[in-house]
A and B are shown apart, each in its own frame.
Chain A
């Protein structure tokens, strides 16, 4: 039991992303309202973004900007760069792109939802299905 607990506490970032992802997936499957589904979709994507961001983090590390870099101060001290002192910036940079992608997807999806609303005057999925059957 204690082992399991420490396993969960040590890797809490992974557990958090799984929980968030499941919340998003639940909303996408269960919710009846198209906008709520979209919100679920966004939570789903955000969970993955947080997962990436957390993998780049290190304890007691700082952002990857080298202090006293040679070239700026004329008398800068040359110290060897220790990788362990800096966080990994690559996942964060990747996620900037992923955020742009998710915003674009959200925009397209909202535009489509608007068109759906104009066609059926409702955003509830069961009502739309009823209208489709009537036609």
Chain B
């Protein structure tokens, strides 16, 4: 049983996706429990794997007994053990939180939505677990296809166009990745990450290796919406159904950043990336630009989801830049921020979902006086906002601290300034919302749909989202503090052993 965990991890949601699509024709009442079961299986498997990895070292799994250079291998070590728990945990928590929303908005498409949701999770888990370059491409495409469809299911009318623009760029990104894999295959004759990594050093001076590296990284940067290549992201996430963007926004970009880290650590090797190539300065400058541009564009928005989307663009700059700093503190910060940012974004989108469940839109004027009617949701939102700004003891502070240390050590002062300025800008962003929600009088359009039974006499009556939505939000929001307090042991236990020792 324990040796089969990597297969169960991916197969659980995958088989559940088929079962759900069959049951959506037969009896759609069973769809929801099956989905929960599938997600629970993968959560259990990933927790088991993390334990196993922590105690006994990396886990290898070969499909059908074909040994690595020939067959497809799943390889779980400390780095992706953590990411797997993150992905399956967020995906599992999101479903009960979003179920009332899915039931209300999706009507007869519920079964389809759940099946796509499961396929998305399958893809994300597979991308994280695989050790095969071509397999990674196929799983990236499975994830992307599921997310194209999920993002297009919004009811605003603009979501299909936004999703179509995502398809164009997503395909270019994936094709670049595929091209890079092709170059590596021609050079080494292998597709297994470990095998390629063993063969590459002897030909590291070849220009073709550089071309392969550039194609792979550019492809992944498009998929993760790194700043100049981010144009698809804000529209796609804004017009998407919140039940979908709640899981796509925190996970999709982070898993792509994980892929970048994995390629750099396990395929090309940090020595090649930081010593043979002279790209790190340029990448850190680009990331600083991404952070500032994302933060400034977030300032210009007057809709909550749009603002959050631009914050994601800025946060991607944090992680990419932190990793390309190339020293221990920077890499540690980037990996820690990957986990923290997924949780913070998840928490923000959970709160946005609760608001959207009750309000007719999320323009800032609709949020006037919202603290009075939805105090619990807004408390969760406040906690996540404070964490994005980087106030201790929330988790956002600790990863930013590592990034700051890393940038000072690498003497990357542009990045340092970008980090500080963007923290200040996010303080402005969130305190503007706190002010609107706390001090402005209650917006009159509020209570749409549910306001009729309350009447106008009880304007300040509490009208919270359904209990499950609030409970999940509370759990995640408290999790932000818990992860913040535990970040010392997370770094020592899981992150530092991955970071190669040779670095400063």
Chain A contact residues, CB within 8 Å of chain B: 25, 28, 34, 37, 41, 44-45, 48, 51-52, 55, 90-91, 94, 97-98, 101, 104-105, 108-109, 112-113, 115-116, 119-120, 128, 132
Contacts and interface: CB of A to CB of B under 8 A. Distances in A.
26 contacts: A41-B167, A45-B175, A48-B175, A51-B179, A91-B185, A97-B138, A98-B137, A101-B141, A104-B141, A105-B141, A105-B145, A105-B171, A108-B145, A108-B167, A109-B148, A109-B167, A112-B160, A112-B163, A112-B164, A112-B167, A113-B164, A115-B152, A115-B160, A119-B157, A119-B158, A132-B158
B392 to A, nearest CB: 43
Interface string B329-360: 00000000000000000000000000000000
Contact of A41 (B134, B171, B179, B186): B171
B321 interface: no
Interface string B163-175: 1100110011001
Interface bracket on B: 20 to 34
B149 interface: yes
Contact of A48 (B141, B149, B179, B186): B179
A45 to B, nearest CB: 6
Given A45-B175, A48-B175, A112 B152 contact: yes
A119 B161 CA distance: 9
Nearest to A51: B182
B185 A108 contact: no
B303 to A, nearest CB: 15
Contacts of B152: 112, 115
B182 A109 contact: no
Contacts of A105: 141, 145, 167, 171
Nearest to A34: B164
A51 B179 CA distance: 9
Interface string B233-250: 000000000000000000
B480 interface: no
Given A28-B168, A41-B171, A108-B149, 15 more contacts: A41-B167, A45-B175, A48-B182, A51-B182, A55-B182, A55-B185, A97-B138, A108-B145, A108-B167, A109-B148, A112-B148, A116-B161, A119-B160, A120-B161, A128-B161
A94 B134 CA distance: 8
Contacts of B179: 48, 51
Nearest to B153: A115
B31 interface: no
Contacts of A132: 158
Contacts of B172: 25, 28, 44
A126 B487 CA distance: 50
Contact of B182 (A34, A52, A119): A52
Contacts of B141: 101, 104-105
Ranked nearest first, the 9 interchain pairs of A and B with the lowest CB-CB distance are: A115-B160, A112-B164, A101-B141, A112-B160, A109-B167, A116-B160, A116-B161, A119-B157, A108-B148
Nearest to A52: B182
A67 to B, nearest CB: 23
Contacts of A120: 161
B182 A41 contact: no
A111 to B, nearest CB: 8
Nearest to B178: A48
Contacts of B157: 119
Contacts of A51: 179, 182
B194 to A, nearest CB: 18
Nearest to B167: A109
Nearest to B166: A112
A91 B186 CA distance: 10
Nearest to A45: B175
A45 B171 CA distance: 8
A28 B172 CA distance: 10
Interface in B148-205: 148-149, 152, 157-158, 160-161, 163-164, 167-168, 171-172, 175, 178-179, 182, 185-186
Nearest to B151: A112
Contacts of B163: 112
B248 to A, nearest CB: 15
Nearest to B134: A94
A94 B148 CA distance: 23
Given A44-B175, A51-B182, A109 B164 contact: yes
Contacts of A109: 148, 164, 167
B149 to A, nearest CB: 6
A80 B164 CA distance: 53
B147 to A, nearest CB: 10
B55 to A, nearest CB: 36
Nearest to A132: B158
A41 to B, nearest CB: 5
A106 B160 CA distance: 14
A46 B467 CA distance: 50
